[in-house]
Amino acid sequence: MAAVYSGISLKLKSKTTSWEDKLKLAHFAWVSHQCFLPNKEQVLLDWARQSLVAFYKKKLELTEDVVERLWAYVDNILHSRKLQNLFKNGKTINIQISLVKIINERIAEFSLSGSQRNISAVLSSCRGILSTPALAVIYTAKQELLVALLSQLCWSACRQPEGAVAAPLLEVIHLALGHYLLIQQQQANPRRVFGEMTGHLLQPCLILRHLLSGGTWTQAGQGQVPQVLSREVRSKLEAVLRGGVFQPDMLSSYTEELLGQQQRDTKIGTPKSLLTPLDTVVTRLLDAGHCELHLHATIVATSVAVLYRLFLDSYLKEGNQFLCFQALPRLFGCLRISHLQEEPEKAMSIPDWTTELLVVEQLLSSVASSSIYNVATDRIRHGEAQFHFYRGVAELLINHPQAPVPAWFRCLKILISLNHLILEPDLDDLLSSAWIDAEVTEFRTKKAQEVLIHTLFQTYAKLRQVPRLFEELLGVICRPAAEALRQPVLAAGPSAALCACLLELPPSQVLDMWSLVLDKFQSLILPCLQSDVDMALKSLSLSSLLHCVMFNMPSLDSSTPLPVIRRAQCMMERVLGELVKPLLAFLLDTPGPESELWLQKVSDSALLLSCTWAQVDAMLSLNCGQYCSVAGTQLEISNYPSLLPGVEARLWKKVEKFTAQSRSLGRYCLEQLYLQRMRRTLMQTSSQSEQVLQTLRCDAAYILGSGRGSLSLRMTASWDGQVGTVNASTYPAAHWHLLVSNLPILIPYLCLDDVRYLARVLLRTLPTSQAQGASADEEPSITLERVSTSLLHSPLFPEVQSLHSAFLRCVATRCSSILCSGSQSGPGSLSQQLPWLLEKDHTVMAHWESRFAKVGPEGVEPRGEIAQNFLSLLKSDFPIQLEDEQLGDLLGLLNIISALHLDSLLPPHHLHYFLLLLTMAVSTQGRSCSSLALQFLTTCYQLLACLQRGRNARCVFRVMYVSDIFEIVLTSLLPTSGGFCLEVDDPSWLQFLQVVGSFLEQLMHMLIQSRLSLVLNFGKITTFLSRCKLHTEAAFSEQLGNQSPLGSQLLLVCLTKLCQVLGPLVKDRRQLQEAPASLPELLQQAMLQMATGLQPCLVPGTRGHCLPSALLSAVATLLEVDLSQHRLGWISQGMDRVVPTNAALYRSVYSRLLLELPALARDTLSFQAALQFLTLFFSAPALHPPEGPVFVSILHAVRTVLADPAIPALAAQDIEPHLGALFTQMLEAGTMEDFGLVVQSVLQGLDIRHVWTADMQAVLSAVGLLKLLLSCPLSGEKASLLWRACPQIVSALTLQSREACQERPVVLTVVEPVLDVLALLLRQGEEAISNPHHVNLAFSILLTVPLDHLRPPEYGRVFLGLHNVLFSILQCHPKVVLKAIPSFLNSFNRLVFSVMHEGRQKDKGCADDLPVILECARLVERMYSHIAVRSEEFTTSSPFLVAQYVTEAQKVTLYPAVKDLLQEGIYLILDLCIEPDVQFLRTSLQPGARDVFKELHSDYLRYHKAKNEGEKRYTA
């Protein structure tokens, strides 16, 4: 032993031993169990430490390679499992302080110089020390070492190193922050902690937090730092800042500094011990010596918001509001914008403004949400100190308007919400810079502007001062300004805000606003309007405002006070006489060419007010009986009837002539006037004379013809829906919107040519491709395409029959023209071969129908002519050959056709479209087939199937037999299928087969329903299919040649559909003794052809690894029909057991399916067909092979499927119903022994040892098997056996869930199915589970499943699972709930708190997750309602439910939608609370929660209880 000991020590210390040998020897000594050395681990660690210390103190010369290997050696020791085991066994190994200092020095060197020599090993060694509590004590015992380490680590990260170093660096920072937080909490001297923070850690922590918030290292291409780690480091940085800078013990110092200034000024001298913490923080924050100058301002700005939020989190409580405010000006002074008043020459860029205004918004939001500003308290106690500060901020914002920045609007909105007097002195400048003169183009900025204007109007509406605000607005508009540069006054956002305000105002205030506009017109505009373009533009702006006021005022009716009605009538007379007529009079003088703009704007203003007056006059006349219209009741009918009372016809001639020259607002308003006259005419005339009809037709023609030229323009702008924004570029969209919105009025009075024109415009403006959904940041607007798409999908469209019919003809004509463009012959031959392509008004269709409706005298049926024509063209050379470009155009038209209601077409349209679609489908024959061609064919046959589901589908059979259609389809598709370069299991090909099969099956079903020569048609179909050989032995014609695998599949699908239709038909008719002798023979022929075709297809290795879905469906259909026929034979012949034909084929398929079932599960169609076959096979004992029991074999295959991890989750959900059907059949036919085997398999799979051996697939298989078992109807002994095993199952599920939840991350693949099956078990065991303990076990699962750190989809699924289990307990086991209310409420409150946590308003990333959170909130509301129904059980617990809700609610700011749902639920719990409960809550809750409860209870009384009491009044 001594020799070994001395040998190792001597060799490690010897100068003659090379460092290569020393390192090898040290490594051997560490890992070898044969090397005995007293305190070996400590000795080896000390040797490596001493070597490194000596090297860095220049006492030892080592090469870089040796130093690197020494660091790696230390790192390996610190991370070795052997070291961890030694600590677990109680052995002590010390880290010397010299090693820690070297680590700190190396990190400091890396921080200063960026040298990465050995830095990875150094960081890893540091992580090893900090992650091991026994070693980390060296840092926690020496606080200055940890502070130095943390400082250097943060500075290193602030240098933004490459991604390879960033991830381990942040991991070490995360560990170091955790240890420093513990030290902070244990430190008794707050000044020491504050000094360490401000002296060493404040700046690097703030810079690092800024970088992490900006997404450094987490964005694509920036490194491999996980977002979770970045988020946790940022959270701990904020905790360290709060614990170091804003400690509770420092409150007195902050109070002395912020509130004691005046008292100190009155004293002689200042105490030397006075600490000014906020000044210290601000000084360190503004120190620019540690980061680049261009970053410093941004870091200061973001840090100000963080520091103020942390200050409020620490010190905001009742009575400290003014203290919290006093910190705001100090921190606000750190921002650059706070010095712009003194240093106006320092201009800032838009990005700088954006950053700083976002911070100002956060500061003001904190003030508003924390109730720091109380107007009365500030005025009485503090001399309006807060008001003056906010006033200064407002002046700063108004004097430096930043309309392109959304945060600028939001800051102003918050200031208005705090106190409208803050902005009142600058109200005119506010309206100018934020509305009238603001250049706002971006959608997000427009939304911010809309919110500001909405808040402004709502605030003044509450003050009953909207007319005063409106007067200021009119004054701003009428200021001298470059009107041509201004945007429209009432765009969509401001208009929506004004409209919402008008609806809440009393009529008197609206009339005041109305009067103000009229006064402005008369005093400022009309006197100076002549030839003044600026005044004309102001006139248009005021007209837009007056239009909005008149159009959106609350409606007057017979209950309105008579003075209000008289005043409104007076205002209407003033508008017409003092405003509209004078403006129209300006248009009588012939203007010069230089006055064109002036004339346009004046006419726009006059016509806008004219149509507004006409519409409001009509509305008041209808709604208010006391209103006397100036227009009277007489209709003036002449060539140019008056559109307004008292306005001569010659003026309208001139207006029409002028507006026809320009696409402007005036033309749009003139169309509105004509439309209004049509409405007035229709309302006032009960019987329409020819003269009235002629006037209506003229008006409709004018409205349509007015914008006829504009709809042909290729480039048009979108329109926001506001009348005031109609101009030359938006007019086409506005005009088209006007036409489409009023089609029911216009269509009856349009001539046929006009209707066809509308149909052509509709077709031209429809998008031919699938439009993508609008993004969240895209402005909603009206375009030609959107209007046309809305009309196409509107249920009103088919009701407008003339337009619908014309549109159908337009689409058909367009399709025919594309088909004709691909013709290889002239139009003359096409008109003879395919006459329906060239017809215009269905005359050809009528000719064919009338001809084919009659049978010839010789008994020859003429219906086959079209079919024979088709077949002859297909067999010779089809005259139409389409290229890819033509196919693409047709595909776009087919997308339009698919949006039409094809199931309700009239017979001529139906027949025309059937022949047209069939022509398009067969036109792809013989061409080089691409994926586009396959998509085209699929769409054609989908539409043909949809067409034949319509009410007039039988009209097709007047001109063609079903058998002929069958033959045409296959004759075209068989050669076409040979041109596709696809695998037999390609999804697009399988979809095509499904579509074609559905179409042919539908035709045959209609044949049976119509009873149209069944034997003849089915005989021709069977004969035709018999000629189509599945293999290369024979060809059905010279054109088809040898069949490809795809063609073989196609024929198999056709035979399958034939058997599926004929089988039930023969069976039903045979039972009723009605079956013709030919039908069973035809069925036997079809079955024989199927069996013959299937034999070579099912030979192993001929078709790839797995059987395609078409073959599986075919063999399942063959077996089903075969069994059906044999069972009928057994009944009639008295036979007990007959082996079906093709038994060898079925057994072969059965053997293959047992092997291929897991692979087939990834395709739902294939798997469904496979399970259908297995179900049928299991029901036929005569087919069972003698090798082993079929039940066991199928059960093993099903378990393999359930355990397969390669099956996607969605696919697993799709296959569950099909597995359930198979399992039901198996359990019904199986014995008790078989059932016991299933239960035993479930219990074995749920054994906990599978978790310990990481065999999760066995667990998942057992859970899936149990779910299938519970989905099957069970009774008798089988049900009894299952419920006897229920206690073991519940216990096993509990253990599985507990083990899965201990893993990190949580094994959701186990937890989610366990929750689902547990809920199902509890529901079905409502009467069977007798022991309440087994139900109580579910609560332990509910309390252990974590709900944090989950992605939104995962969170939604887990939450739903937990809710379903809890709901099952509540609904199905009420006695258990009664005895376990605390456990139930604990589980439920976990869900409530989780929804609050996830539904809180975050900085980033929550808006997209909101739908998931809303669904979870709905589940919580639903659970509240069920708890409220059980009032007897939960009455005593209701106040505690409310208390827990409000206690948690005060901690977060929820999204409004989430808050509304949760409040609706908690209102139901408040219904259970009696008055003593409410008093108890008011006195026992903490101050913050008490305020939340007061607000909640106030809303409850105002909205919920009042509503319910109102409903009870009408309840018997």
434-469 confidence digits (pLDDT tens): 999 888 888 899 999 999 999 999 999 999 999 999
Confidence band, pLDDT 50/70/90 cuts, at residue 849: low
1454 in helix, strand or coil?
strand
pLDDT for the residue numbered 785: 92
pLDDT digits 0-9 by tens, 1077-1095: 678 888 888 888 888 877 7
Question: Please, which pLDDT band fits residue 743 given cuts at 50, 70 and 90?
Answer: very high
- The answer, yes or no, to whether residue 511 has pLDDT greater than 90, is yes
Residue 256 has pLDDT above 60, yes or no: yes
CA torsion through residues 1130, 1133, 1136, 1139, sign: negative
Going by pLDDT thresholds of 50, 70 and 90, the confidence category of residue 1258 is: confident
Q: In the predicted model, what is the mean pLDDT of residues 873-894?
A: 83
For position 81, what pLDDT does the model report?
83
Confidence of residue 385 (pLDDT cuts 50, 70, 90): very high
> In this model, does residue 1470 exceed pLDDT 80?
yes
pLDDT of residue 431: 93
Q: Which amino acid is at 664?
A: S
Question: 344: exposed, middle or buried (C-beta count within 10 Å: 0-12, 13-18, 19+)?
Answer: exposed
Report which of residues 1216 and 177 the model is more confident about. Answer: 177
* Residue predicted with more confidence, 662 or 176: 176
User: Residues 492-518: what's their mean pLDDT?
Assistant: 91
pLDDT tens, position by position, 129-183: 888 888 888 888 888 888 998 988 898 888 766 656 778 888 899 899 999 988 8
For residue 65, how far is the Cα from the chain centroid? 55
Section 40-55 average pLDDT: 84
pLDDT at 770: 54
- CA distance readout (Å), 720 to 492, 544, 743, 777: 6, 14, 21, 15
- Nearest CA-CA partner of 845 in 1002, 1003, 1006, 960: 960
Residues composing the chain? 1516
Peptide bond into 1305 cis (omega under 30): yes
Q: What is the DSSP annotation of 662-715? A: S-SHHHHHHHHHHHHHHHHHHHH-SS--HHHHHHHHHHHHHHHHHTTTGGG-S-
Reported as a single tens digit per residue, the pLDDT across 1276-1297 is 888 888 888 888 888 888 888 8
Highest mean pLDDT among 34-38, 66-70, 418-422 belongs to 418-422
Whole-angstrom Cα distance, residue 1138 to residue 1129? 9
- pLDDT on residue 662: 78
Alpha-carbon distance 247 to 314, whole Å? 7
Alpha helices, H only, 246-349: 251-259, 261-266, 277-286, 293-315, 321-332
**What is the average per-residue pLDDT within 979-1003?**
86
Residue 1050 to residue 1056: CA distance in whole angstroms: 10
Mean pLDDT of the chain: 82
From CA 1359, how far away is CA 1362, in angstroms rounded?
A: 5
In this predicted structure, which of 137-141, 821-825, 1024-1028 has the lowest mean pLDDT? 821-825
**1094 alpha-carbon distance from chain centroid:** 46
Position 279 pLDDT exceeds 80? yes
- Is 993 within 8 Å of 1110 (Cβ atoms)? yes
pLDDT at site 759: 94
Cβ-Cβ contacts under 8 Å for 1301 (sequence gap 6 or more):
1307, 1311, 1344, 1345, 1346
896-940 pLDDT tens trace: 998 888 877 888 888 888 989 998 888 877 565 678 888 899 999
Model confidence at 264: pLDDT above 60: no
* pLDDT band (50, 70, 90) for residue 416: very high
Band of pLDDT at residue 1060, cut at 50, 70 and 90: confident
Q: Please state, in angstroms and rounded to a whole number, the distance separating the CA atoms of residues 1431 and 760.
A: 65
Q: How far apart are the first and last CA of the chain?
A: 101
pLDDT of residue 632: 60
Q: How confident is the model at residue 100, as a pLDDT?
A: 87
Does the structure show a pLDDT above 80 at 235? yes
* Across 631-640, 968-977, 1100-1109, least confident range: 631-640
Over 50: is that where the pLDDT of 854 sits?
Answer: no
Residue 114: which residues within 8 A CB-CB, separation 6 or more? 159, 161
Of all residues in the chain, what percent carry a pLDDT higher than 90? 22
pLDDT score recorded for residue 832: 66
- Residue 868's pLDDT is 79
| pLDDT at position 1032 | 32
pLDDT at 1184 over 80: yes
Chain-centre distance for alpha carbon 1189? 50
Handedness of CA 432, 433, 438, 442 (dihedral sign): negative
330 pLDDT above the threshold of 70: yes
- How deeply is 1388 buried, as exposed, middle or buried, from its count of CB atoms within 10 A (0-12, 13-18, 19+)? buried
Q: Is pLDDT above 60 for 1403?
A: no
* Contact of 373 with 325, CB cutoff 8 Å: yes
The residue-averaged pLDDT of 988-1006 equals 90
**What pLDDT, on the 0 to 100 scale, is given for residue 590?**
59
Percent of the chain with pLDDT over 70: 87
- CA-CA-CA-CA torsion sign (34, 38, 42, 48): negative
- Residue-level pLDDT at 22: 82
For the segment 590-596, the average pLDDT, to the nearest whole number, is: 65
What local confidence, expressed as pLDDT, does residue 933 receive? 87
Say yes or no to pLDDT of 544 above 90.
yes
